[in-house]
Structure 1
Amino acid sequence: MLLTTARTRIEILNPEESHLLLNFYQQNREHLAPWEPIRASEYYTKEYWHNAVAGNQTHFEQSIGFHFVALTAERDQVIGVANFTNVARGAFQACFLGYCISKPFEGQGYMTEILEATIDYLFTEQKLHRIMANYIPDNKGSERVLEKLGFEREGYAKRYLKIAGQWQDHILMSKINPLVE
């Protein structure tokens, strides 16, 4: 699976390539800490990422999760990730979106570029109807990205997720597929 944008290669990694995600999360540990759950030390190990990437590949093969990794053209550095999880089929045809960007690529439009390509894939190829994304009110970067992509605010959830060791409120957003009736 390969999607391309003007500046990225977006792929579902193989377990043999899990070192790319390990490096990404090790290098961005402090950068991502305010927006993620507190991670156990195992999260930053080769074994953890090998198993996670193997699971991600299985999710892709079963069309129940899409864990996209955006790479530089040289495939030597992860720019960001876009995870479409908890894919529900049947009458719902929806999923949740989570994403993050490497600090050196932040604020340059990469996340919008990555999400445009991956959302297009989910809407056109997977025929999903709804993609839901939530963000902490203080995360203005996520707010801007989601608004640029046409996500609409649907609600406010108090103490929704335990992020950085605290139960955090979240703004609930979604984007509806204009191509599916």
Structure 2
Amino acid sequence: MISFPFSKTPSVYLKGERLFLREPQWSDYRQWANLREKSRAFLTPWEPVWRDDELEKSSFRLRLRHYSEEARSGNAWSLFLFRRSDNVLLGGITLGNIRRGVAQSGQIGYWCGAPHAGQGYMFDALKLVIPFAFSELRLHRLEAACIPSNLRSVRLLEKAGFLLEGTLRSYLKINGLWQDHLLYSLIEGEEQRRGLSVKTTAV
């Protein structure tokens, strides 16, 4: 599932029944910008304040550079979700803040475009990323945090087997305000006991 092309930058491709996940490419810019613009009102309550140049090509180019550097260092993997039937971009998911040593943990974050929300795509993506994190990256613990009022995210994490650990007070500055977040976690092996483990395939 992780390959090293001639550029020495590791790449990831995860394939499920309805969608596939891969690292963002420059050719994705138009789809990404259109989907983010169309979903602005839907996403901004749950994200940091958008910059004035948020959707510009220069900003996307910097994102790609950052994603590549993070993957090369093993600190994070940022992936786009595409529907297999028509290669339409659905959203994104990141496995970041990877800590090795005694921690062996990482944090999951995600976003879904407004036209594709509520159709189970992000749950499908989690079923691909969770086994990748535990089996391929050898992590022991996954964390995810969400604003308590984000009921879609709460339901998603609980459906995916994450357990609520508590509240992180004034944790992240979202939409211009420091906001409390609910902390969820999933420990290696728990996904198998709950029947959530899915074998991913690579091409």
Q: Same fold by TM (over 0.5)?
A: yes
2:33 is aligned with 1:51: no
My pick for the range that moved more, 18-27 or 129-138, is 18-27
2:170 is aligned with 1:159: yes
Displacement of 1:20: 3.4
Query: Over aligned residues, Cα RMSD in angstroms?
Result: 1.5
Q: % of aligned pairs identical?
A: 31
The one-letter code of the counterpart of 1:93 is Q
Displacement of 1:143: 0.5
Instruction: State the match for 1:110 in structure 2.
Output: 121
Instruction: State the match for 2:130 in structure 1.
Output: 119
Q: Which runs of 5+ in 2 are unaligned?
A: 1-11, 191-203
Q: Which runs of 5+ in 1 are unaligned?
A: none
Provide TM-score, normalisation by structure 2: 0.82
Moved over 3 A (4+): 15-20
Instruction: State the match for 1:89 in structure 2.
Output: 100
Q: Deviations over 1:8-33 (max 9, x none)?
A: 12101233434433333222111101
Q: Secondary structure at the match of 2:70?
A: helix
Instruction: State the match for 2:72 in structure 1.
Output: 61
Q: Deviations over 1:43-88 (max 9, x none)?
A: 211111112112212322332101011012232x321211111111
Distance in 1 of aligned mates of 2:183 and 2:169? 10
Instruction: State the match for 2:52 in structure 1.
Output: 41
Count of residue pairs brought into register by the alignment: 178
Provide TM-score, normalisation by structure 1: 0.91
Instruction: State the match for 1:9 in structure 2.
Output: 20
